[in-house]
Amino acid sequence: MTPKQAIDHFLAQKRIAIAGVSRTEHDFSRGLLREMRLRGYDTVPVNPHAEEIEGLTCFASVRAILPPPDGVIVMVPATQVESVVRECAEAGIKRVWLHGPGTGSAPSDTLCALCEQGDITLISGHCPYMFLTDTSWIHRLHARILKWLRKYPR
């Protein structure tokens, strides 16, 4: 599967968790949560320090989500990424998208091996906003620049 096919397949799912959603209203992760909800996703916030975010029940961990999501966007600090991906593997989640400063530009060998063992499709290094329909001009511009630089996933 090509990176673009993996992204399209991820976004074709309807129940998506966002691990690391901030309690701060104007945080990037909260904006992504709202945008996905506006597009009809059953978006599930995950933050161990919150009971509710954006009027939704917030789960302390990916393992606690019932029914489990179809995919997880991971937006946690670098020290927590591997733990969250392990939870995804344990929960049988087959689609993981690493995004945000904690996820780095390239997943570690350990993380790749963990995903391979769990038969998890891993997406890394691309902003989900660029692939949502009717997104704001700044995200469309970001996508165009990457296309121009030939760094947009194919």
Look up the pTM and report it: 0.93
Cα 36 to Cα 33, 114, 129, 146, 153, distances in angstroms:
5, 27, 9, 22, 21
Q: Across residues 32-53, what is the average pLDDT?
A: 96
Q: Which domains does the chain have, with CATH numbers?
A: 3-126 (3.40.50.720)
Average pLDDT, the chain: 92
Q: Summarize pLDDT for 84-100 with one digit per residue, the tens.
A: 999 999 999 999 999 97
Closest CA relative to residue 132, chosen from 15, 39, 13, 30: 39
Confidence of residue 31 (pLDDT cuts 50, 70, 90): very high
Cα 93 to Cα 52, 64, 125, distances in angstroms:
23, 12, 20
